[in-house]
Amino acid sequence: MCASDGRAYQRKGSNTVELSTAEILELRYTRGEKSFEDRPVVRYLLEQLDPAVAKAFMDGLLQRNGLSMPLTIDEALANKRLTVVVDNETHLTVAGLISLGKQPTDFVPGARIHFVKIDGREERFGAERNVVKERWFDGPTLQILEQIREFLRTLVSEFDYLGPDGTFVTEPEYPELAWDEALVNALVHRSYSLDKAHIEVRMFDDRLEVESPGGYPGAVRPDGDGVFPLSYPRNPRLAEALRYLSLVRLAKEGTRRMKAEMDKLGLPSPAFQEIQGVAVKVTLRNDIDRRRPRAEIESQKESWRKVAAQLGSDLAVYRSNAYESWARLHSLRARAPAEVIEAADTILRDPAIAIDEKSRLTRIMVQEETPAMDAWAGGFAEGLGRARPPHTDYQVAQILAHSEDVLETILTMLERGQIRTEEGRSLAFSALDHRYTRRDLPPEDWTKRVLAACWEPQSASWYPESATLYYRITGKPLPKGVAGGDANSG
């Protein structure tokens, strides 16, 4: 609030404090009552402009506005209010200097970005200082952004983690669009009237913070989803100049796109925080506790490579070690890669390897519960169907029937329709049939599930193995017209 004597006061917490002249001016800039970016800074000379940026600005201006008439850089700057005339002399404004000037920090010392990478989740100081990388970026805004983009791309890690299906998923630590938008917003919407304050970018193990001088502009505030529903650029002339340099969209979609990109990776929404009315901080979190850096998981991938190599050994002791390692990796929710499944297929095809060992291997494979299980059960399914295994179908069915866990998995897959090939279903019914050649019969409720699987129509295919199984259990032929019955019947 303002008093009649020109003094101004502001509530801070439970107290009312008088604002200094500089604070009153900054408040007016923030509310849009005055525009700091329109202030003249220095007498305009063409040499003060960065030639490459000035050319890009002119190209963008001509292209976006569809101009065909010749236009000089001086006319363009005046037209876009990036220069003003003071006492019959043309001066660059703050917006003109920051967007196109060679070295804006000569006149606005804080027109730069300070980056620090911190080892850990909290910054420490003094003898325990944990800053491992530090760098300053200055120059025209386009140059600052290009430099820090290139720099950050070398620091943003790739994370690996186990997806819901147990396979490795590789994702960027942060989506580039999200951190890039945070940087652009900081450069465009910061308060340049706090001319000695710079943008601070801090990278921690678990988050990336971008803190810019000045509070929220005008009445703009983030909603409950962390999205700014309104577009209210603090520096509209700077924003327009940067639009011609293809840095700003001015479409009220920046924070929405940030949130959408974070959502795609299952990451928390960007968090915006106003710090005592003098700074705004946006925080991107990388969910490091769920996702692990690539370096940490490489050892697990190396373990899988070792398992595949040992499965290919002619010596049973090395294959046994592979089975133990496979079981341990499975307990960590890691899923076997294709090279391991292929090595296991080779073992299951080898008639020289004992059925007991093959049974041990099938119990491990059953635990995978992946789409590859369809291939495994399907030609021994489809995976083994690439080449006829040395075993007869009878022998393969015996191997499968050797383990109750394997039989339960086969029955469940039949119930769910997960075995889709004719060869695979025939083999599955044959394996179940072998279970009933033993003295100890399975529970009756399990047998009822088997009979239901025999009855289930599966297109027009004919499975004599299901008919054989049905007859063994009931002493009756499978009725015509259902799977396993007479293929030529109605």
Name the residue range of residue 72's domain. 22-103
Same domain, 32 and 83: yes
- Please state the rounded mean pLDDT for residues 247-266: 78
Same domain, 331 and 418: yes
Residue 382 lies in a domain: yes
Q: Please tell me the predicted confidence (pLDDT) of residue 295.
A: 54
Highest mean pLDDT among 116-120, 325-329, 439-443 belongs to: 116-120
Q: How far is CA 151 from CA 111, 177, 203, 321, 425, in A?
A: 18, 15, 12, 45, 56
Residue 311 lies in a domain: no
Residue 426: band (very low, low, confident or very high) from pLDDT cuts 50, 70, 90: confident
Pairing between strand 292-293 and 279-285?
unpaired
Question: How far, in Å, CA of 145 to CA of 18, rounded?
Answer: 38
Q: Is the pLDDT of residue 217 over 50?
A: yes
Report pLDDT digits (tens) over 322-376. Answer: 999 998 887 776 778 878 888 887 887 787 888 778 878 877 876 654 433 444 4
Residue 7 lies in a domain: no
Residue 94 lies in a domain: yes
Same domain, 91 and 116: no
Question: How far, in Å, CA of 110 to CA of 246, rounded?
Answer: 23
- Please state the rounded mean pLDDT for residues 201-205: 95
- Please state the rounded mean pLDDT for residues 150-176: 80
How close are the terminal C-alpha atoms of the chain, in Å?
Answer: 90
Question: How far, in Å, CA of 408 to CA of 416, rounded?
Answer: 12
Q: Please tell me the predicted confidence (pLDDT) of residue 389.
A: 42
Residues, the chain: 490
Same domain, 53 and 180: no
Q: How far is CA 203 from CA 20, 131, 156, in A?
A: 34, 10, 9
Highest mean pLDDT among 188-192, 219-223, 406-410 belongs to: 188-192
Q: How far is CA 401 from CA 78, 190, 331, 352, 460, in A?
A: 86, 70, 24, 19, 27
Domain end among 48, 78, 103: 103
Q: Which helix (H) or strand (E) holds 118?
A: strand 112-118
Same domain, 257 and 387: no
Same domain, 365 and 233: no
Q: Please tell me the predicted confidence (pLDDT) of residue 403.
A: 73
> For the chain, how are helix, strand and coil distributed in percent, rounded to 5?
45, 15, 40
Residue 4 lies in a domain: no
Enter the DSSP assignment of 230. Answer: S
Question: How far, in Å, CA of 359 to CA of 406, rounded?
Answer: 9
Residues 104 and 85 sit within 8 Å (Cβ to Cβ): no
Percent of the chain with pLDDT over 70: 74
Question: How far, in Å, CA of 172 to CA of 201, rounded?
Answer: 19
Which of 332, 337, 331 has its CA nearest to residue 307? 337
Collapsing DSSP states into helix, strand and coil, what is residue 90?
Answer: strand
Q: Count of domains in the chain?
A: 3
Q: Is the pLDDT of residue 392 over 60?
A: no
**Rg, the chain, Cα only:** 35
Residue 359 lies in a domain: yes
Collapsing DSSP states into helix, strand and coil, what is residue 397?
Answer: helix
Report pLDDT digits (tens) over 49-75. Answer: 999 999 999 988 888 776 666 789 999
Enter the DSSP assignment of 251. Answer: S
Pairing between strand 89-93 and 131-138?
unpaired
Helix-helix angle 404-416:422-435, to 10 degrees: 140
Same domain, 274 and 368: no
Backbone angles phi, psi at 9, to 5 degrees: -130, 155
Residue 179: band (very low, low, confident or very high) from pLDDT cuts 50, 70, 90: very high
Residue 230: band (very low, low, confident or very high) from pLDDT cuts 50, 70, 90: low
Q: Please tell me the predicted confidence (pLDDT) of residue 345.
A: 77
Residue 98: band (very low, low, confident or very high) from pLDDT cuts 50, 70, 90: very high
For residue 434 the two structure tokens come to 């072998």
Residue 390: band (very low, low, confident or very high) from pLDDT cuts 50, 70, 90: very low
Same domain, 70 and 118: no
Collapsing DSSP states into helix, strand and coil, what is residue 453?
Answer: helix
Q: What is the DSSP string of 161-229?
A: EE-TTSSEEEEESS-HHHHHHHHHHHHHHS-TTSTT--EEEEE-SSEEEEEEES---TT----TTS---
Q: Please tell me the predicted confidence (pLDDT) of residue 313.
A: 93
Q: If you search the block for the tokens 């027009």, which residue do you land on?
A: 460
Give every CB contact of residue 388 below 8 A, 6+ residues apart in sequence: none
Same domain, 74 and 170: no
Residues 93 and 40 sit within 8 Å (Cβ to Cβ): yes
Residue 298 lies in a domain: no
Same domain, 275 and 254: yes
Same domain, 96 and 132: no
Residue 369 lies in a domain: yes
Highest mean pLDDT among 149-153, 224-228, 388-392 belongs to: 149-153
Lowest-confidence pick of 201-210, 257-266, 351-360: 351-360
Enter the DSSP assignment of 489. Answer: -
Q: Is the pLDDT of residue 43 over 70?
A: yes
Domain end among 75, 103, 131: 103
Which of 436, 441, 430, 437 has its CA nearest to residue 395? 430
For residue 284 the two structure tokens come to 């991107």
> Any idea what the CATH number is for the domain that residue 141 is in?
3.30.565.60
Percent of the chain with pLDDT over 90: 37
Question: How far, in Å, CA of 143 to CA of 363, rounded?
Answer: 60
Q: Please tell me the predicted confidence (pLDDT) of residue 14.
A: 59
Q: Which amino acid, residue 310? A: Q
Which of 163, 113, 108 has its CA nearest to residue 138? 113
Same domain, 364 and 460: yes
Residues 188 and 102 sit within 8 Å (Cβ to Cβ): no
Domain end among 80, 103, 126: 103
Q: Is the pLDDT of residue 6 over 70?
A: no
